[in-house]
């Protein structure tokens, strides 16, 4: 009798910083049958560290070390782990450590190669510590830029998804003055284009997109700022509108996010990090998801940090990781 092929996508879950909450939220998420109903989860990390985390949270899951995805069973009750064996027993929780940063880099590197080789379909990342990453000699602002380098992608965008709100960023991990300098019509257009293409792929016919201004009240016709909206944003919006896209802006950020949450827009384009991050985190930090747009591989992530203050205590919430896995499944290429 012919066996029906398993069409669930294989999602590589990187363990993140071993001294943070990544190991425990991964085990909590993998205890949920609904996760296995939608995907084949495969942790890329350290089996020993996951077992330690399992002891902290009283997990009944078995942790099974594998070397390749082909060895994994993908059965609820057992966490399959591509085991890199980098973290020694008793490694501290709650501290910034170079070894944790080095391991976090290696996990994401291995997961990227698995997807590129067709052995996994998407990547879902637990949080890493930028400070630990830098201490290990990897000078990246975060996952987004690291993945862009690993995949030789010249330009990517960060999209945050929370209940009732989606936000894509024109600039991210740079200072505010540098962000304003970097914003220019070509970049704004490319970010809108990437965000729109992602929503179209997800089933939106002609997504409604609201574009933030830079200054208070989006400059209010030159009253605030030095003409940044007219110089940097309006040409890109007009180019989008000429293509028949439902793009509006620049709009005052203080009301645009309210309108988007109300349902007026499917996507908000934020000009800089805090302009986009703050509203999303107010809407739902525990359920927020970070998606890197423009990579040749699908990557989603929790929208929170390593939480060193509670790491190792077994109390971290896995809600954002479960949401990130759902987004990874929705964006992953179809199998079968």
**pTM for the structure as a whole:** 0.85
At 242-284, the pLDDT tens digits run 999 999 999 999 999 999 999 999 999 999 999 999 998 887 6
Cα separations in angstroms, 231 against 125, 222, 234, 270, 315: 37, 11, 7, 16, 48
Q: What is the mean pLDDT of residues 192-196?
A: 96
Structure tokens at 259: 């309108």
Residues 140 and 12 reside in one and the same domain: yes
For the residues of 40-53, what is the DSSP string, one character each?
A: EEEEEE-HHHHHHH
* HSE-CB of 102 using CA atoms within 13 angstroms: 10
- Whichever domain contains 166, its CATH number is 3.40.718.10
Q: What is the mean pLDDT of residues 164-191?
A: 95
At 1-34, the pLDDT tens digits run 455 778 899 999 999 999 999 999 999 999 999 9
Give the span between the Cα atoms of 327 and 325, in whole angstroms. Answer: 5
Residues 60 and 143 reside in one and the same domain: yes
Which range of residues forms the domain containing residue 129? Answer: 1-153+295-336
Residues 99 and 14 reside in one and the same domain: yes
Domain count, the chain: 2
pLDDT over threshold 90, residue 157: yes
Query: Could you tell me how far CA 322 lies from the centroid of its own chain?
Result: 12
Residues 182 and 261 reside in one and the same domain: yes
Residues 113 and 139 reside in one and the same domain: yes
Lowest-pLDDT range of 125-134, 229-238, 240-249, 294-303: 294-303
Q: What is the mean pLDDT of the chain?
A: 93
**Looking at the DSSP assignment, which residues form a beta bridge with residue 78?**
62
pLDDT of residue 12: 98
Preceding amide of 133 cis, omega within 30: no
Residues 149 and 161 reside in one and the same domain: no
Residues 225 and 328 reside in one and the same domain: no
Residues 146 and 161 reside in one and the same domain: no
Query: Could you tell me how far CA 327 lies from the centroid of its own chain?
Result: 9
At 87-113, the pLDDT tens digits run 999 999 999 999 999 999 999 999 999
Give the CA dihedral 92, 98, 99, 100, nearest 10 degrees: 60
């Amino acid at each position: 009798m012919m066996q029906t092929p398993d069409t669930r996508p294989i999602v590589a879950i990187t363990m993140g910083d071993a001294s943070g909450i990544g190991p425990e939220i991964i085990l909590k998420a993998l205890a949920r049958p609904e996760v296995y109903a939608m995907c084949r989860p495969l942790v890329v990390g350290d089996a020993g560290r996951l077992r330690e985390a399992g002891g902290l949270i009283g997990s009944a899951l078995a942790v099974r070390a594998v070397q390749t995805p082909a060895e994994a069973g993908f059965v609820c009750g057992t966490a399959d782990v591509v085991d890199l064996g980098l973290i020694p027993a008793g490694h501290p929780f709650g501290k910034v450590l170079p070894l944790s940063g080095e391991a976090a880099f290696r996990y994401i590197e291995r997961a990227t190669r698995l997807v590129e080789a067709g052995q996994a379909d998407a990547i879902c990342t637990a949080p890493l510590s930028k400070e630990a990453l830098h201490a290990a000699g990897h000078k990246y602002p975060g996952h987004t830029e690291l993945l862009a380098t690993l995949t030789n992608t010249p330009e990517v965008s960060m999209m945050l998804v929370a209940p009732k709100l989606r936000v894509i960023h024109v600039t991210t991990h740079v200072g505010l003055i540098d962000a304003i300098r970097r914003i220019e019509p070509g970049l704004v257009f490319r970010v809108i284009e990437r965000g729109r293409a992602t929503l179209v792929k997800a089933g939106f016919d002609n997504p409604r997109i609201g574009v933030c201004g830079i200054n208070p009240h989006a400059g209010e016709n030159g009253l605030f700022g030095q003409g940044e909206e007219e110089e940097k944003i309006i040409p890109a919006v007009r180019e989008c509108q000429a293509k028949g896209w439902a793009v509006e802006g620049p709009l005052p950020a203080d009301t645009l996010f309210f309108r988007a949450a109300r349902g007026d827009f499917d996507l908000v384009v934020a000009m800089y990090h805090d302009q986009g991050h703050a509203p999303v985190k107010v809407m739902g930090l525990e359920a927020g998801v970070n998606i890197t747009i423009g990579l040749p591989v699908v990557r989603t992530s929790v929208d929170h940090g390593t939480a060193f203050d509670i790491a190792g205590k077994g109390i971290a919430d896995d809600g954002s990781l479960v949401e990130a896995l759902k987004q990874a499944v929705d964006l992953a290429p179809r199998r079968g």
